[in-house]
Amino acid sequence: MKFTSSQLAYFFANRRTRTNIRKLLKFLGVLVFMYVFYSILFHYMVIYEGKEEEYSIITGFYWTLVTMSTLGFGDIVFSSDLGRFYSMVVLFSGVLFLLVMLPFTFIEFFYAPWMKAQNEARAPKKLNEGVKDHVIITNLNSVTAALIKKLDSYKIDYVILEEDLQQAVELSDLGYKVVNLDPTDFDTYNNLCIKKAKMVVASGTDTVNTNVTFTVREFNADVKIVATAASVDSVDILELAGANHVLLLGDILGRSLARRTLGGNARVHVIGHIDDLVIGEATAQETPLIGKTLRESMLRETTGVTVVGFWERGEFKQALPDTVITEKTVLVLAGSVDQLRRYDELVSIYHVSDKPVIIIGAGRVGLAASKSLSERHIEFRIIDKDPSRIFDEKNYILGDAADHAVLKKAGLEEAHSVLITTHDDDVNIYLTIYCRQLSPNMQIISRTNFEKNIKTMHRAGADFVMSYASMGANSIFNIIEGQDVLILAEGLNIFNHKVNKKLAGKNLIESNIRKETGCTVVAIKCQDKGMIVSPEPIRELELNQDIILIGSSEGESIFMEKYENKKS
């Protein structure tokens, strides 16, 4: 009922629609007049022919309707020439007005406007005035689609701007909250409660993002604006236009892929931190840890670090006391800076490889990965078949990565890691299978653009898969919430949560967080004791404490659905 009323409101609010309705009513009035006139004239024709049978008024209306609609039952006919001529006039006028003009008039003046009103009701041109703390997204793509999933999990309202009405309706049918407005139009933001918005996310091309940013900033000087950029040269321009944060998503993904490369030794490789909690990874290859269980390794007792999980061939496993460490194991460690340094002192003497990392693809992502590796003093070789991307003969190799000779020239048979960074998922899957076949023990890190291909890449042999969409979505979400959300790999996150009334007063065992969501509490931030890493199961949670958890994207969504209550 509410949806129908909104359709009617849109339908009658338009001046052209009201004009069309008046025209349609006039046409229907003419049609009714003809029908009544012909029905009356019918009785005069009956008198003219001298028919003995008397016909009622209803019969006159019946004959007129049957004749005008071309049904022609033949139960009432005229025998004179004048009567037959009259019947033909009624018949032809019925064909013209009922069968030709009426359908087109109805479609033009009623049906088409009504369908447009339905579409506009599903994709309105204005937000309700009560909307606040919402995120305005100027373009739907893989990044913003992933962002919307996270916003839904955290119950943060959003709206997508879509200029094309049909596209806006299709997005609405898919369940997205959308308004049919041009993101570059100044007047658009009058209808979006911009002064009460949490953030504007400009996610189109660099030029469109600059237009959007400048327009929004002129309209509201205080709203936070996050803009994505494809080119480094666009960063300064977007900042001058008024963007608070400019994200080079290709650079972010490239550096994230490079951070997955463990390098040529067994030292801890830091992949991120939340406050004082540092998250790192370290390979067990070539270290005395191989063959020991986690309990036997005594890592916590000797270094203070906590092993929060293991990676083995792209699969994340829980850190159980009896888990055996193998040469394929990558330890996921949590601790303070000092604790991780003590771990490094223990294992830094063990060397894994001094061979360069191979990067396939010299696009924005590949170049960002190479820059990150250079900062870590790790050698690399980039393979690309575009001559314009070859800058020197030492680190760049011209050729097709599907050519064994090219891979051999890059040192694939001896390299410990390969980064596959092309923008084509099919090519990445192909190269993953090929590289795994040529070098079974190599660490393979691959990029993906579509979530549907993640499992396929893991089956193909990739150890880690990271997507453009997740990197961008989490980067934007961090800015929205002002908190750190780290991605260990595609689908596995570290996130924090403030203890509310649903969890306060319970210890970790009583909370059933791990059992019901699959997420694990890895740290608790206490006001008096600082960060407590790997808290004991019997530790009681206090109201407004920050807890840090590790879990899958699905687990995080379940946790937020079950335990998040912003009123508590």
User: For position 365, what pLDDT does the model report?
Assistant: 92
Q: Pick from 101, 122, 143: which residue ends a domain?
A: 122
Which residue's entry shows tokens 């990067």? 359
Q: In the structure encoding, which two tokens stand for residue 234, read together?
A: 């666009």
Instruction: Please give the single-letter amino acid code of residue 66.
Output: V
Residue 255: inside a domain = no
Which of 250, 144, 124, 142 has its CA nearest to residue 200?
144
pLDDT in tens, 423-466: 899 999 999 999 999 988 888 999 988 777 888 998 898 888 88
Residue 421: inside a domain = yes
Q: Pick from 415, 438, 469: which residue ends a domain?
A: 469
Give the separation between CA 473 and CA 485, rounded to whole angstroms.
10
Check whether 567 has a pLDDT greater than 60. Answer: no
User: For position 103, what pLDDT does the model report?
Assistant: 79
Those residues with Cβ within 8 angstroms of residue 342's Cβ, 6 or more apart along the chain or in another chain: 302, 303, 304, 305
Do both 421 and 342 map to the same domain? no
Find the distance separating the first CA and the last CA of the chain, reported in whole Å: 34
Give the separation between CA 89 and CA 381, rounded to whole angstroms.
88
Backbone angles phi, psi at 263, to 5 degrees: 80, -165
Confidence of residue 140 (pLDDT cuts 50, 70, 90): very high
Check whether 124 has a pLDDT greater than 80. Answer: no
Q: Count of domains in the chain?
A: 5
Count CB neighbours of 315 within 10 A.
Answer: 10
pLDDT in tens, 285-330: 778 888 899 889 888 888 888 887 787 766 677 777 888 888 778 8
Contact between residue 132 and residue 223 where contact means Cβ atoms under 8 Å apart: no
Confidence of residue 1 (pLDDT cuts 50, 70, 90): very low
- Rounded mean pLDDT of the chain? 83
User: For position 280, what pLDDT does the model report?
Assistant: 82
Check whether 11 has a pLDDT greater than 70. Answer: no
Q: Pick from 97, 122, 147: which residue ends a domain?
A: 122
Do both 367 and 342 map to the same domain? no
- Exposure pattern of 511-531 as b/e (b: 16+ CB <10 Å)? bebbeebbbbbbbbbeeeeeb
Which span out of 247-251, 252-256, 425-429, 521-525 was modeled with the highest average pLDDT? 425-429
User: For position 105, what pLDDT does the model report?
Assistant: 75
Give the separation between CA 229 and CA 271, rounded to whole angstroms.
23
Which span out of 200-209, 257-266, 525-534 was modeled with the highest average pLDDT? 200-209
Residue 129: inside a domain = no
Which of 483, 562, 526, 7 has its CA nearest to residue 272?
483
Do both 113 and 142 map to the same domain? no
Those residues with Cβ within 8 angstroms of residue 96's Cβ, 6 or more apart along the chain or in another chain: none
Do both 6 and 116 map to the same domain? yes
Rounded to an integer, the average pLDDT of 84-107 is: 84
Residue 478: inside a domain = no
Do both 394 and 425 map to the same domain? yes
- CATH (domain of 408): 3.40.50.720
Those residues with Cβ within 8 angstroms of residue 353's Cβ, 6 or more apart along the chain or in another chain: 264, 414, 415, 416
Q: In the structure encoding, which two tokens stand for residue 113, read together?
A: 């406007």
Confidence of residue 106 (pLDDT cuts 50, 70, 90): confident
Do both 114 and 141 map to the same domain? no
Contact between residue 524 and residue 541 where contact means Cβ atoms under 8 Å apart: yes
Residue 474: inside a domain = no
Do both 370 and 457 map to the same domain? yes
Do both 118 and 6 map to the same domain? yes
Long-range contacts of 473-478 (CB under 8 A, 24+ apart): 473/143, 473/144, 473/146, 473/147, 473/149, 473/150, 474/150, 475/247, 475/249, 475/252, 476/143, 476/147, 476/201, 476/226, 476/247, 477/147, 477/150, 477/151
User: For position 568, what pLDDT does the model report?
Assistant: 43
- CATH (domain of 24): 1.10.287.70
Residue 314: inside a domain = yes
- CATH (domain of 519): 3.30.70.1450
Do both 29 and 111 map to the same domain? yes
Range of the structural domain that residue 22 is part of: 2-122
Q: What global pTM score does this model have?
A: 0.67
Residue 477: inside a domain = no
H or E segment and range at residue 339: helix 337-347
Do both 420 and 515 map to the same domain? no
Residue 259: inside a domain = no
Do both 457 and 390 map to the same domain? yes
Check whether 389 has a pLDDT greater than 60. Answer: yes
Do both 142 and 213 map to the same domain? yes
